[in-house]
């Protein structure tokens, strides 16, 4: 089992970027090549992508100076241009604009994509250990396996003092963590969504910047603000939880937000709109598997007797119904190599313990690795019968 890289980072953004860029330079260059090829297969060439990325670079530097400073240091330390680092950090907006074009053209071609993720949140009343858990199978490009990392960022553990410490999972070259938990017990998981409104609002705060700002929050209301305060370039789904036993799922389209709250201790989301009805959901046109992944996840979680323990989590997150387009995703070899998708990582966030558990690849092939925010305070814990230790 390959060990996921763990970066120990401090409060200074330039130092964080320097460590990130120098340690993961090869993976960063690989990710730049992977995304440029993916965009090319979707009909957007290198020149257009890099031209747009210049605009994203200027916007990010103006919108969140600390984030921009960290990106600049990554570029300098890795030997990759600032424009290419900006491309990685705005890759969500670029990717989902490409998906929108592919969804629009889906009726003219037989090829189906496999994009998307499955995420779910469990309230204390639903879990065997009485903790608040956020979980996700992060399904994305197969080539990204081995080119992701975990960052443990120490800034402050004192409520209201500076920005909180956090532990988060991201891709090499990207500052913001899509999945993570901070010192306040605020956690985040995400899903992609596609609508016909994507790209029409122009440049807005990028998805990955919003992810970082969520984990910058000490209070739950402050964590919601980066999602809802401004409109968006591309649609996305944010599952945000708190260790005190609270969570909300936000379907954030370019112009609107819709909200799902846990029902009987549980909330689940895949890659199509569930609550929002003011705009059309289009991911299912290129990835119809989203229509059963969420519902099947919830049904499997609620099956059996008793509360959700680790054995049931593993059973759900390794489910192979309709493989390879399953909850546990494997590559569809009928697709071009640049478009092949797998479960790059399975993630469990224990918000009470401030621990991120992650796999390198599908859970059926790789065991969880424990990444506590505070290793010195992390003792042997369990979900159900499985003991996890540092």
pLDDT digits (tens, 9 = 90+) for 258-312: 999 999 999 999 999 999 999 999 999 989 999 999 999 999 999 988 999 999 9
Asked whether residue 379 carries a pLDDT value surpassing 70, the answer given is no
What domains can you pick out in the chain, each with its CATH number?
113-388 (3.60.60.10)
Is the pLDDT at 387 greater than 50? The verdict is no
pLDDT at 23 over 90: yes
Residues 190, 271: Cα–Cα separation, whole Å: 10
State pLDDT tens for residues 321-364. 999 999 999 999 999 999 999 999 999 999 999 999 999 999 99
* Residue 257: exposure state from Cβ atoms within 10 A (0-12, 13-18, ≥19): middle
- List the one residue out of 57, 74, 66, 78 whose CA is nearest residue 206: 57
Please give the full DSSP string across 175-192, using - where no structure is assigned.
Answer: -S-SEEEETTSEEEEEEE
Helices then strands, counting H and E runs in the chain, come out as: 11, 16
pLDDT(121) > 50? yes
Of 67, 351, 84, residue with least CA distance to 211: 67
Cβ 373 vs Cβ 152: under 8 Å: yes
Average pLDDT over residues 100-105: 57
Quickly count: other Cβ atoms within 10 Å of residue 306's Cβ.
Answer: 8
User: How many CB atoms are closer than 10 A to CB 38?
Assistant: 20
pLDDT tens-digit series, residues 107-116: 544 455 556 7
Planar angle of CA 144, 132, 254, nearest 5 degrees: 55
| 120-142 average pLDDT score | 97
State residue 43's pLDDT score: 85
Residue 384 above 50 pLDDT?
A: no
DSSP state of 364: T
Q: Which residue has the tokens 């730049």?
A: 32
Render 251-280 in DSSP notation, one character per residue.
EE-SS-EEEE--BTTEEEE-SS-SS--SS-
Quick one: pLDDT at residue 390?
32
**Tokens standing for residue 99:** 């998906």
Predicted TM-score (pTM) of this structure: 0.94
Q: Which residues pair with 141 in a beta bridge?
A: 341
Instruction: Answer whether residue 388 shows pLDDT above 60.
Output: no
The C-alpha atoms of residue 363 and residue 133 are separated, in whole angstroms, by 17
> What's the mean pLDDT in 152-171?
96
CA distance 224 to 243: 15
d(CA 180, CA 170): 9
Instruction: Identify the pLDDT of residue 386.
Output: 44
| DSSP secondary structure code for residue 113 in this structure | -
Gyration radius of the chain's alpha carbons: 19
Peptide bond into 324 cis (omega under 30): yes
Six-digit token string for 58? 């200027």
**Run of H or E residues at 14:** helix 13-23
Summary mean pLDDT of the chain: 93
Contact 322, 303 (CB under 8 A): no
């Amino acid at each position: 089992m390959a060990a996921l890289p763990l970066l120990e980072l401090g409060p200074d953004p330039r130092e964080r970027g320097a460590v990130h860029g120098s340690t993961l330079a090869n993976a960063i260059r690989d990710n730049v090549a992977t995304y440029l090829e993916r965009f090319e297969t979707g009909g957007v060439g290198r020149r257009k992508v890099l031209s747009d990325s210049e605009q994203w670079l200027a916007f990010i530097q103006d919108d969140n100076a600390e984030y921009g400073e960290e990106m600049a240091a990554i570029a300098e330390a890795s030997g990759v241009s600032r424009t290419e680092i900006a491309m990685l950090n705005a890759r969500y907006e670029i990717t989902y604009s490409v998906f929108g074009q592919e969804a629009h053209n889906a009726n003219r071609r037989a090829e189906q994509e496999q994009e998307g993720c499955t995420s779910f949140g469990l309230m204390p009343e639903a879990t065997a250990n009485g903790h608040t858990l956020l979980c996700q199978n992060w399904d994305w490009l197969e080539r990204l396996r081995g080119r992701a990392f975990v960052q443990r960022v120490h800034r402050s553990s004192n409520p209201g003092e500076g920005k909180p410490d956090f532990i988060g999972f991201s891709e090499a070259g990207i500052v913001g963590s899509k999945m993570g938990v901070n010192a306040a017990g605020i956690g985040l998981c995400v899903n992609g969504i596609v609508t016909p409104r994507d790209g029409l609002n122009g440049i807005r705060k990028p998805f990955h910047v919003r992810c970082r700002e969520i984990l910058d929050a000490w209070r739950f209301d402050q964590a919601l603000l980066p999602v809802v305060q401004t409109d968006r370039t591309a649609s996305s789904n944010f599952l945000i939880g708190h260790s005190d036993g609270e969570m909300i799922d936000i379907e954030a389209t370019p112009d609107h937000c819709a909200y799902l709250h846990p029902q009987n201790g549980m909330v689940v989301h895949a890659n199509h709109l569930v609550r929002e009805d003011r705009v059309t959901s289009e991911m299912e046109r290129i990835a119809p598997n989203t229509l059963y992944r969420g519902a099947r996840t919830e049904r499997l979680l609620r099956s059996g007797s008793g509360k959700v323990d680790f054995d049931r989590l593993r059973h759900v997150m390794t489910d192979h119904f309709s493989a390879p387009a399953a909850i546990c995703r494997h590559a569809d070899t009928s697709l071009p190599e640049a478009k092949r998708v797998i479960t790059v990582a399975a993630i469990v966030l224990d918000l009470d313990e401030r621990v991120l558990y992650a796999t390198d690849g599908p859970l059926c092939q790789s065991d969880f690795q424990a990444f506590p925010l505070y290793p010195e305070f992390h003792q042997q814990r369990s979900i159900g019968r499985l003991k996890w230790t540092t």
